[in-house]
Amino acid sequence: MRKYKTALFLLAFNLVSLPLLDVNQALSATEPEHDSLSGSWQAMTDRALKVYEEGDLKGAESLLTRALAVAEKMGKESPKLFKSLDNLALIHFKEGSFVKAEPLLQRSLALQEAKYGPDNIKIAEALHNLGILYLSEDKLDEAEKCFKRLLDIRESKLDKESLEVATTLNNLAEVYDLKGRYRKAEKMLQRSLAIREKKLGESHADIANSLNNLAGLYMDREDYAKAEPLLLRSLKIQEKVSENAERDAGLSAILNNLAELYDSTGQFAKAEPLFRRALKIDEACYGPSHPNVAKTLNNLAALYIDEGACDKAAPLVSRSLKIAEASEDPDHPGMIQSLEEVAEIYAQKGKNEKSLPIREKILFIQEKRLGKDSPELVMYIEDYARNLDSLGKVKESKAQKDRAKRLRKSPGRSGSGQ
């Protein structure tokens, strides 16, 4: 069964970690020392914001890289260094390159811990940002540690019913949801929603976020009757508060989840326009070749396969495979998984000849990423072998099975991929 975490991650990041690039507040601050450097840093950062808002991520990345070099000269305790690391990490996040974002956020947190101490409220934003990244990378243990630590800090330093506490509860609940600890996740999401409704009223983007995430939890439990009204309410709120519905990643997240619900309950006619609208938003937000676009393409393809319209699914899968192969981060969470799920749906429908090239391409991509001698390839090789078996390709299947056996016995070395 397909999962819904892609949409939830998108919504969580866009709605609760905006401080990562809150230029109206964090980036506008200046320091009395290093006046010349500070002016240069501010000018580059302001320019980066402008091109970022225009959708030029590469231009913003270049400017923020230069701003970081300037901030390095201000010393390890300069808040501008912390902000430069965070801002550049955000750009990499938006580009889908989590592997580039992670060391930047890790360093930002370490520097702030060294300056302020490990339990200071001033490190809360750094813990939040790193936790969001770990959550997006499927590094659930690391994300849990960040959010639990952050919750302790915020509950001890702030009002236990503050919006900051609600945000942390929301994100920690996401971790527990993905770990299958549904009862704990549900209680946290309900508490987060109650705080937000009390503080914000009934029509706010954060309310839409909480409703969407709670619905996602019920969808994981296949309790669609509980999930649907939450998603419909979430969609209504997000459409009302959105400043630009055509480029609202949070709105895309809700649309994806609602479409998944209708697909899972056989209401295909309701699901298709929602997926198509989500795809259009994702393309506007990230560009046509982003991993998030690939995942929405796969969701729409899966819908068509469920409907028996494989001819409609084929070009979507082909485009998604091209995105995955060209991605700087081919292990972008959810992208490969969503392709595997498309292949599995093809197989369940008896379309093994259509699932084979997908599994072959997935194996090729993972070989490039991991190296041809990596034991981590075993699951992909075995899936490919089973697909070959289903088509009567016994000789080719045996060769793949033998390869999988050899890798299982290997000491865990990673080859060059050549």
378 or 412, higher pLDDT: 378
The model's pLDDT over 296-320, given as tens digits with 9 standing for 90+, comes to: 999 999 999 989 898 899 899 889 8
- The proportion of the chain whose per-residue pLDDT surpasses 70, expressed as a percent, equals 88
Alpha-helix residue ranges (DSSP H) falling in 96-181: 98-116, 124-136, 140-157, 163-178
Using CB atoms within 10 Å of the CB of residue 202, give its burial: 0 to 12 exposed, 13 to 18 middle, 19+ buried.
Answer: exposed
pLDDT at 82 over 80: yes
Determine contact, residues 80/46, Cβ cutoff 8 Å. Answer: no
* Whole-number Cα distances in Å, 69 to 47, 52, 66, 81, 85: 15, 19, 5, 9, 10
Residue 331: the pLDDT is 61
Residue 35: the pLDDT is 65
Residue 108: the pLDDT is 97
- The proportion of the chain whose per-residue pLDDT surpasses 90, expressed as a percent, equals 65
The model's pLDDT over 181-226, given as tens digits with 9 standing for 90+, comes to: 999 999 999 999 999 999 999 899 999 999 999 999 999 999 999 9
Residue 16: the pLDDT is 30
Residue 411: the pLDDT is 62
The neighbour count for residue 288, using CB atoms within 10 Å, is 10
Its CATH architecture, for the domain 297-418, is Alpha Horseshoe (1.25)
pLDDT at 164 over 60: yes
22-40: b or e for each residue (b if 16 or more CB lie within 10 Å)?
ebeebbeeeeeebeebbeb
Mean pLDDT computed over 35-47: 84
Using CB atoms within 10 Å of the CB of residue 46, give its burial: 0 to 12 exposed, 13 to 18 middle, 19+ buried.
Answer: middle
Determine contact, residues 262/246, Cβ cutoff 8 Å. Answer: no
Which residue type is seen at 15? L
137 or 277, higher pLDDT: 277
d(CA 149, CA 146): 5
pLDDT at 9 over 60: no
Residue 244 pLDDT level (bands cut at 50, 70, 90): very high
Q: Return the closest-CA partner of residue 8 out of 234, 298, 163.
A: 234
The model's pLDDT over 351-386, given as tens digits with 9 standing for 90+, comes to: 999 999 999 988 988 888 788 999 989 999 999 999
Using CB atoms within 10 Å of the CB of residue 346, give its burial: 0 to 12 exposed, 13 to 18 middle, 19+ buried.
Answer: buried
Using CB atoms within 10 Å of the CB of residue 19, give its burial: 0 to 12 exposed, 13 to 18 middle, 19+ buried.
Answer: middle
Using CB atoms within 10 Å of the CB of residue 256, give its burial: 0 to 12 exposed, 13 to 18 middle, 19+ buried.
Answer: buried
Determine contact, residues 89/129, Cβ cutoff 8 Å. Answer: yes
Record the pTM. Answer: 0.76
Residue 34: the pLDDT is 55
Residue 328: the pLDDT is 67
The model's pLDDT over 98-156, given as tens digits with 9 standing for 90+, comes to: 889 999 999 999 999 999 999 999 999 999 999 999 998 889 999 999 999 999 999 99
Domain regions of the chain by residue span? 297-418
Residue 416: the pLDDT is 39
Query: Which of these ranges, 47-56, 78-87, 102-111, has the smallest mean pLDDT?
Result: 47-56
